[in-house]
A and B are shown apart, each in its own frame.
Chain A
């Protein structure tokens, strides 16, 4: 078992075109670090700043829950979870 990351089209350049990649971790932050280890560059498209936060215009969901309401990068994750990353759609 592992945790699955569903990769949005614009980030598939970091995964060799793969739509989904697997990783491990106890929190979302650990999971992103772990996935970034095998697919360098992914992390900086999802996370920014110091201390690290989710990028403002990226939505991240764990099992369909928007993590902004579940603790952001500290959200706990476990084997079998599905993490979805999506660029926000907005404009003026």
Chain B
């Protein structure tokens, strides 16, 4: 199960809407082992594409240098699909390198024919390990403080 706070959830949706019809991408990080997805880091889609996303080499390094300095890890890796459902594509599965990350996919496909979009967005979460996709429940909380740390530790 992915446990995510309302503010971060909203921020991911807003990013997907803002970048539509191109795919949006980014990560949410938290202290190592804490399971708290608390620092929202939108990353420019270097591909600037409606069907592909990637972090530039420079952005990838910058994100990880920040993680290193803060003793944080990636808790959530997210991106959007702008014309298809919020389910991992073959490319998503092949390129998923972080078995410990939740992979969130949001879909703005209801606006697929539009150049901008402000409507409903699907939000789904997966684990992707060695090519195997497992969808998981998403629990939205007001604040991580209300969740027992034992429950968050598995996040």
Per the CB 8 Å criterion, the residue count for chain B at the interface is: 31
B→A interface (CB under 8 Å): 25, 27, 43, 47, 51-55, 57-58, 60-61, 64-65, 68, 73-74, 77, 79, 88-92, 95-100
Are B97 and A88 closer than 8 Å at their CB atoms? yes
Are B91 and A91 closer than 8 Å at their CB atoms? yes
B48 to chain A, nearest CB (A): 13
| Interface hub of B43, B58, B90, B95 (most chain A Cβ within 10 A) | B95
Closest residue on chain B to residue A64 by CB atoms: B61
B70 to chain A, nearest CB (A): 13
A→B interface (CB under 8 Å): 6, 8-10, 19, 57, 59, 61, 64, 66, 68, 84, 86-92
Taking CB atoms, residues of chain A closer than 8 Å to B65 are 64, 84
| Interface hub of A9, A66, A84, A87 (most chain B Cβ within 10 A) | A9
B93 to chain A, nearest CB (A): 8
| A6-B68, A59-B60, A86-B60 given; A92·B100 CB < 8 A | no
Are B97 and A89 closer than 8 Å at their CB atoms? yes
Closest residue on chain A to residue B88 by CB atoms: A91
| Cβ contact of B61, chosen from A9, A59, A68, A90, cutoff 8 A | A59
A1 to chain B, nearest CB (A): 20
Are B55 and A90 closer than 8 Å at their CB atoms? yes
| Cβ contact of B52, chosen from A9, A84, A92, cutoff 8 A | A92
Are B51 and A92 closer than 8 Å at their CB atoms? yes
